[in-house]
Every structure is written in C-alpha cells, then in structure tokens.
Structure 1
C-alpha cells in the first residue's frame, strides 16, 4: 500500500508515515477539531484526536493532555475501511484534509464524501 487516500474522485498523496489529518470547525461549539489518521492494510486507523476547546460532543478522551492550545488524546478505536463526511454546506468550515498537500472538501452542499485508502495509481 502506497501513501494515498481517495476523497471522492480526488487522490491525495500522504505525508511520511502514510498519515493524513482531517480538521474542521465543530458546528455547534465553533471550536477546531483535528484527527490524525494512518493508512495501513487498506484501512484507516485513527492515531490521534485533538480539540481546541470542550463543549457539546467535544470532550477530550481518556488520557487527554493539554499541549499548544489543544486537548490531545489517543482514541481506542478499531481501524475502518472508509470515512463518510457530510457536505451540507451549512457548517462553519469545510473539511480540511492534509496529506502531502491540503485540500478543503464539502464547503458547498453536495453528496457525502467518502475517504478510503487507495493504491499508488489512485484507485480505491
């Protein structure tokens, strides 16, 4: 598996370690949320989560610590085959997906966005 994820029809190369980040602004609390994912064995594994504040649905997980303005923790979740992101166009920010480069997704209303691991030729 090479370092690539598909986000809809877009193939995005990954940074070192086959990792990418997904960042957005929480729709109710208006605070930043960031997740770091790793691609391994055709699956996505959440390796770190971070929030800028706390509130409705934004409480830091067990073992969280405060660093550089973020509450950071390591979620205990099983790897998943894909992520599905809503694209209502009604949230305060787009989804910001960063691998080797960054792209904003779902700022306008549309179909849900599927993020999944892909082969080096950009195919899921």
Structure 2
C-alpha cells in the first residue's frame, strides 16, 4: 500500500497509512487559514482543491477562484509533487494534517517546529 512519508532527503521520520489528506496552516502575517487537498499516488502527491479564507500580503486570490462558505476555492494544475517541501519553523507555527475526519499538528508525529530543522518533506511511499 502507498502511504504518506514525512521526513527529509529520503529519511523517513513518520509514515501514515492514508490515501488522501488536507494540509492546513495559518499565514504567518495575515493569520488567514489555507487548506490544500492532496491524493497520495505512486507518482507523488496530487493537489486537488485548495481554499483560503482571504487575501493579503503575498496572498493573491487566483483567477477563477469562487467564494463559497467564506473561503475562496480554486485549483492549480500541477504535476504530482514528489516530494512536497515545507518550511517549518517556530516563528511560522505548525502545519496540520487532516484525514479520517480530524486534524492534528505535524508536531504530533515530528515534535515541535525547530530552528535547527526548518524544512520537512512529504512524499508518497510504500508502507512497510
């Protein structure tokens, strides 16, 4: 089974047996929530729909986005991401992974964001 790996440079820090998830975070300056839906495939992480609650510094609403239930919904055509690189520092706060009806901060699996390790990667991987 293909699942989601979290780590860096191919070193697995955590493995999750999931086929899809939502990556969520709050913009560091505007404090606006962003969400991106991904499917885990053999080719990588496939971005589906994305949502943002508003715009601001460096947060332009993409052309073609539609306002629904207080969030802008849109899709960006991207090839599968393998890996998806994320900056993760104490100053920026933590990301959340949402699946199976709930959300948990990445710190649940990786410990709190740390200045000495400011990057994490997510990729599809085989479950052992």
Q: CA RMSD in A?
A: 1.8
5+ long unaligned stretches in structure 1: none
Q: Which residue of 1 aligns with 2:97?
A: 97
Choose which of 115, 118, 121 in structure 1 pairs with 2:125: 118
Summarize the Cα distance change of 1:102–1:4 in structure 2 as closer, same or farther, 3 Å threshold: farther
Q: Which residue of 2 aligns with 1:7?
A: 6
Query: C-alpha separation between the residues in 1 aligned to 2:53 and 2:15?
Result: 29
5+ long unaligned stretches in structure 2: 8-12
State the Cα deviation string for residues 41-84 of structure 1 (Å, max 9, x = none).
Answer: 23111111110111122222222111111101011212111111
Task: Calculate the TM-score normalised by the size of structure 1.
Answer: 0.82
Tell me the number of residue pairs that the alignment of Structure 1 and Structure 2 aligns.
116
Task: Calculate the TM-score normalised by the size of structure 2.
Answer: 0.80
Query: C-alpha separation between the residues in 1 aligned to 2:123 and 2:103?
Result: 16
Matches within 5 A, 1:19-30: 19-30=20-31
